[in-house]
Every structure is written in C-alpha cells, then in structure tokens.
C-alpha cells in the first residue's frame, strides 16, 4: 500500500528520463525516486505499440514491490503508445506521462495566438502516434502542428556526444531547418533525451521561439498531482512528525544493460554523480508472471 513516504517511480528506455528525475529533484527535493532505464532494449522510438506496452508493463510489474505512490512514464514514445493500456492494466497505480504537460505548456507559450504554428521534434513512433497533435488541438483547435521525426538524436545522446560535436550540430541544423522555414512560434522537445541539447537548439532557433522542455513540464505535473492527492512527503501530518522527511530524497537506478556505462553518463543528464545502478536481466522481466512475485535483481 503506497504512502506519502513511498517512492516515485520514473522509467524510460535509457538515460533520457533522467532529465525528468533532475526536474523532480528540483521541484520535490525530499522525495525518494526509483529510476528504471531499459538500456538493453532501447530505442523504443522504432518499435510497435504492442512491444513498447509489453516492455513497460514488465518494468512496472518488476517495481510493484516498491509500492510506488506515482509512476512516471518519462518517455514520449511510451506515453504516446502505451499510457491508456498501462492505466487499464494497473488501475491501482497513479500513472502519468510527458505529452499532456508538454502540449499544455506549448499553448501557454503561444500566448493569445488563435492559430499558432507549433513544432514538435520526437521519435518516429511518437510522431506516427499523432499524440502531440491531438493534445495540442484539444487546447487550441486552430493551431498548426508541424511534427518532425528526429531519429538520430537519441542514439547521439546515448552515445555521449555533446553539443560541440560537429555531427550533433549538423543533425540539429538539418532537423530544425524545415521548422524554421514553416515559421514556428513554439518548439516542443518531444523526447526526454532532447533537453541535453536544449541550449544549442535555442541558439539555432533564436530568442523569439520558446523551446518547451517536456521533462520539466512533466515534473511540475507530477508535483501538482501528488500535492492534490495529499501524497507529498513532508506535507502530511504524519510526515511532519518524521524528521527523516526533511532530508534530501534518495535515488536508486535500475538498468537492463551496461550499468557502468549508465553510471558514467548519468551525470550529464542529472548534473551529479549517482551510485552504481542495479542490473536487472531482461530475462527476469520476460519470465515474470502477471501479478506474481518479482525476481531478485542482480547487483552491478
């Protein structure tokens, strides 16, 4: 049974969801967070909805013994393809994603324009799903949404390439050029990996085009949901009496491949070093029985 002291679970295909963790740690510094990066099976952006849904279902099932008070799908692809099915599969869990908060922020950034041009860069699967298109048009029906698949960016980021890399600059220039040509008013970073390149993207677009970080908006959304549910650590009567609630929250990471590499690259997303992640074999995830016991993970 989840309580105010239960952890927030954040999951993604790899390192990108750590941008959401970073924003959560800023917004909710006393909360404990468990992060799962499915590094053996990334990228999700080129996979079918059925495959992505199965992968995320397995991860949530694995983490159920932690009794999470909230599950964050910190992956635009998984949010677009799997969120409704996951909510139906785990009705007892509050589960949220990154698309609705990002779309809402884009409309706010567009201001009073009734027909704003909003650009979205994302994975192939997220673009194909048209999830951002629907989410934006629910809020501003006359908006023009230019969605552009940018499949090279996630591999570049996961490979540890920085904004000084000529290949990164070339990829961004080619991806952003058609959006600039269309005269977009706002750009949404439709993948939680992309904030790593945010500063360079902002430089390329210029100060007149706001860039929406879906990771940051997602963290604000989670904070609001927990506050409304009375589940924020340090705010309930019981937690006020608990001195430990005043301490900074912990972060524990799980990965399905190469924990050493994950630990080495994580500071680029978080801004701080992390403890060694726990390695979870994909075979353990596949072998799980629905609603059955979760196998023990293997320390890195």
- In the annotation, is 253 catalytic? no
Report pLDDT for 288. Answer: 85
Q: Which residue has the higher pLDDT, 151 or 292?
A: 151
pLDDT of residue 158: 87
- pLDDT tens digits, one per residue of 5-23: 999 999 999 999 999 999 9
**Per-residue pLDDT tens for 97-147?**
999 999 999 999 999 999 999 999 999 999 999 999 999 999 999 999 999
Is 75 marked active-site? Answer: yes
- Quote the pLDDT of residue 108: 97
The pTM of the whole model exceeds 0.95 = no
pLDDT, mean of residues 178-183: 97
Q: Find the angle CA(272)-CA(277)-CA(86) to the nearest 5 degrees.
A: 100
pLDDT single digits (tens) 225-277 = 999 999 999 765 554 445 444 589 999 999 999 999 999 999 999 999 999 99
- Over residues 29-52, mean pLDDT: 95
Q: Map out the domains of the chain with their CATH numbers.
A: 8-97+216-299 (3.40.50.1860), 99-214 (3.40.50.1860)
């Amino acid at each position: 049974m989840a309580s105010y002291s239960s952890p927030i679970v954040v999951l993604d295909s790899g390192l990108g969801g750590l941008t959401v963790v970073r924003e959560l740690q800023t917004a909710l510094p006393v909360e404990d967070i468990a992060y799962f990066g499915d590094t053996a099976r990334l990228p999700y952006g080129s996979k079918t909805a059925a495959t992505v849904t199965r992968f995320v279902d397995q991860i949530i099932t694995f983490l159920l013994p932690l009794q999470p008070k909230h599950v964050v799908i910190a992956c635009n692809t998984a949010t677009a393809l799997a969120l409704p099915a996951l909510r139906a599969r785990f009705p007892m869990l509050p589960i949220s994603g990154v698309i609705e908060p990002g779309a809402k922020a884009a409309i706010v950034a567009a201001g009073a324009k009734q027909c704003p041009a909003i650009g979205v860069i994302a994975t192939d699967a997220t673009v194909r799903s048209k999830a951002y298109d629907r989410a934006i048009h629910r809020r501003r029906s006359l908006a023009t949404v230019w969605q552009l698949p940018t499949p090279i960016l996630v591999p570049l980021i996961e490979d540890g390439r920085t904004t000084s890399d000529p290949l990164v600059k070339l990829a961004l220039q080619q991806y952003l050029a058609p959006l600039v040509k269309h005269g977009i008013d706002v750009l949404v970073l439709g993948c939680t990996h992309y904030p790593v390149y945010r500063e360079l993207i902002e430089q390329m677009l210029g100060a007149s085009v706001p860039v929406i970080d879906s990771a940051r908006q997602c963290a604000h959304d989670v904070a609001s949901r927990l506050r409304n549910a009375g589940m924020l650590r340090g705010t309930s009567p019981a937690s006020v009496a608990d001195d430990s609630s005043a301490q900074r929250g912990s972060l524990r990471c799980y990965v399905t491949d190469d924990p050493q590499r994950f630990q080495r690259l994580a500071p680029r997303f978080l801004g701080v070093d992390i403890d060694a992640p726990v390695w979870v074999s994909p075979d353990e995830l596949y072998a799980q029985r629905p609603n059955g016991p979760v196998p023990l993970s293997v320390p890195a």
